Structure 1
Amino acid sequence: MSRSLGPVQVLHDAPLAPLTTFRLGGPATRLLTATTDAEVIAAVREADESGTPLLVIGGGSNLVIGDKGFDGTALRIATRGVELRGTTLELAAGEVWTDAVARTVEAGLAGIECLAGIPGSAGATPVQNVGAYGQEVSSTITEVTVYDRRAGETVTLADEECAFSYRHSRFKADPERYVVLRVRFELEDAGGMSAPVKYAEAARALGVDPGDRVPLADARETVLKLRAGKGMVLDAEDHDTWSAGSFFTNPILTDERFAAFRARVRERLGDGVEPPAYPAGQGRTKTSAAWLIDRAGFTKGYGTGPARISTKHTLALTNRGDATTEDLLALAREVVAGVREAFGVTLVNEPVTVAVSL
């Protein structure tokens, strides 16, 4: 059933699974689709004033929705708008992220070219501080315009006010308060060359040393190939891409916890085995969730049910076509328990869970 509430499209008992990359989850009591900032704000205010639970959906690439669905209003942000002035890029929240990256590469601007192929909308990027292959959006974001539900007004936050950290931000820390409307980036004109390549795998694929620059188009195409090889570029025919990308974040451990973890690794795998270790700030070390999952016995393709680990990448949990959300969560819980038992490290899910928990 559908009707029009002003200019905003309204659907009742609306399926949400088609709006997510997992293709999982039950219906929402009501689904609104907003195409302007004013419509977004009006829909949010209506929900808040009536005390109706609100779920904001962008590209749906980072959502795990329960099988029973969402008892409230789901708001799909479908706003459009791209403004490129010199090296400054401003995107409406509903803009498709992969298209925006392609546009900056075509314009000869560096800074987000290694974030090519990441599914979802522009408005989601500051929430998660999206990053891959040595780049994070926090390095180029200068401002985020949001609707502050607590204050009941639109505000613009400078990058230093966004509290960006690894896969985290002020917006993720307080998800009930802010709805992203627009994001502004400051990019670099390096004469058609990329930002310095930081990620070792990307540098190897490009045939350069870390720190070198390459033509922008080469950087983008190489990242797309690397991602596709891991099932991280959306393809309706490939069930390895029916996922949320990396399901778990890379653990960041204190020096004391990392020492204990390292001891567990040697005890389990032998004295000559060293776990991945990357500096993560004073007294902290980041290790690899994919390495942990694989070494705990959950290899590519693990599982016999309708939800399995990707055949291309151990960090991706996938819907093989007829899974339920509960199937997915059962697999995720098995992986978390197995890694904790093997190495004493508790993995944290990266996707946002709705009406369910891990």
Structure 2
Amino acid sequence: MQELHDAPLAPLTTFRLGGPATRLVTATTDAEVIEAVREADATDTPLLLIGGGSNLVIGDKGFEGTALVIATKGVELDGTTLELAAGEVWTDAVARTVEAGLAGIECLAGIPGSAGATPIQNVGAYGQEVSSTITEVIAYDRGSGETVVIPNADCAFSYRHSRFKSDPDRYVVLRVRFRLEDADGLSAPIRYAETARVLGVEAGERVPLTAARETVLRLRAGKGMVLDPEDHDTWSAGSFFTNPILTAEQFAAFRARVEERLGKGVEPPAYPAGEGHTKTSAAWLIDKAGFTKGYGTGPARISTKHTLALTNRGAATTEDLLALAREVVEGVHAAFGITLVNEPVTVGVSL
């Protein structure tokens, strides 16, 4: 294992923000990951797990404890079964499955980060979520001190959530297993309206896998959601807020606020989200509350390509970012009575 002290963490995050860690350890095998975690637990040392750093907001003061970079490698593809080590680059893994002619995660192309983070957040985009293809998660259970295999049914997956996210100090994901589909080179049915429109097909139709992946990559790039060190719109965590899920009563009150603010006949985005619940669009809320693309005058601003991304224009601090996030949250609540929830994990800070 590589070990550094007073090590900068900002370069390990897509925001490029945050202070140093007291100690930074890089583990390249499952055994090294477990060893580092056990050592931290035995000495009551605070532990921060870092994969691709695409979902982290680290405070300017940094992290007092051990930051553990999970850099494990390993891809096993057997028929339609895929196993990924936690440290594998997610975008590379998606590309490999498309090259192998397997469907199920092709619309998750371009999402930054590591494979081990995908079950934690139940990563999803463009009509797909990893929960629909994950069969098992292999994790180190810090409670029992053992490596466990957790089947999909026990992962408590829901929208951008899981058992691992609800109990973040218990499990360390080591490997993730997926079951994909061999559809003779075709994608899974296209579920997302924008993707179907660009592809020129109806929702539910299949298209060649490469076409699905390339279309998603183009759509993401157009919104600043594909990492590019030269493009400050990608110095972000992607979508900073989750889409609100409202009860019938909350949605009725929300519609009334929309009508009051924007006029009769204006209908907010609404998508089924389980019995008695409706999901609406955080991006729409942000835009209609007056926070348009490029909003801001400081070093942290809303992306010029997508209202849902908060960005570091190159000289921001974490406090600059949080000030902007708080302004957006307060503005949306004042306009529509909905409190947005941040998607990235905050370390040493909060909204």
2:114 to 113, 121, 133: 121
Read off the aligned partner of 1:162 and give its amino acid letter: C
SS at match of 1:40: helix
Count the aligned residue pairs.
351
SS at match of 2:137: strand
What is aligned with 2:328? 335
Q: How does 1:164-313 map to 2 (within 5 A)?
A: 164-313=157-306
1:160 to 149, 153, 161: 153
1:13 maps onto 2:26 in alignment: no
Map Cα deviations across residues 120-178 of structure 1 (whole Å, 9 max, x no partner): 00000000000000000000000000000011110000000000000000000000000
After superposing on structure 2, the runs of 4+ consecutive aligned residues of structure 1 that deviate more than 3 Å are: none
Return the alpha-carbon distance in structure 1 between the equivalents of residues 36 and 154 of structure 2: 26
Q: How does 1:8-87 map to 2 (within 5 A)?
A: 8-87=1-80
Map Cα deviations across residues 322-358 of structure 1 (whole Å, 9 max, x no partner): 0000000000000000000000000000000000001
1:141 maps onto 2:134 in alignment: yes
Report the RMSD for the aligned CA atoms in angstroms: 0.2
Read off the aligned partner of 1:151 and give its amino acid letter: S
Deviation at 1:272, TM superposition (A): 1.0
SS at match of 1:194: coil
What is aligned with 1:5? none
1:98 to 65, 72, 91: 91
Read off the aligned partner of 1:348 and give its amino acid letter: V
Read off the aligned partner of 1:218 and give its amino acid letter: A
Deviation at 1:87, TM superposition (A): 0.1
Read off the aligned partner of 1:93 and give its amino acid letter: A
Read off the aligned partner of 1:357 and give its amino acid letter: S
TM-score, normalising length: structure 1: 0.98
Read off the aligned partner of 2:206 and give its amino acid letter: R
Return the alpha-carbon distance in structure 2 between the equivalents of residues 10 and 247 of structure 1: 31
Structure 1 gaps of 5+ residues are 1-7
Read off the aligned partner of 2:142 and give its amino acid letter: R
SS at match of 1:74: strand
Read off the aligned partner of 1:311 and give its amino acid letter: T
Read off the aligned partner of 2:8 and give its amino acid letter: P
Structure 2 gaps of 5+ residues are none
SS at match of 1:349: coil
Return the alpha-carbon distance in structure 1 between the equivalents of residues 277 and 329 of structure 2: 21
Return the alpha-carbon distance in structure 2 between the equivalents of residues 206 and 95 of structure 1: 29
TM-score, normalising length: structure 2: 1.00
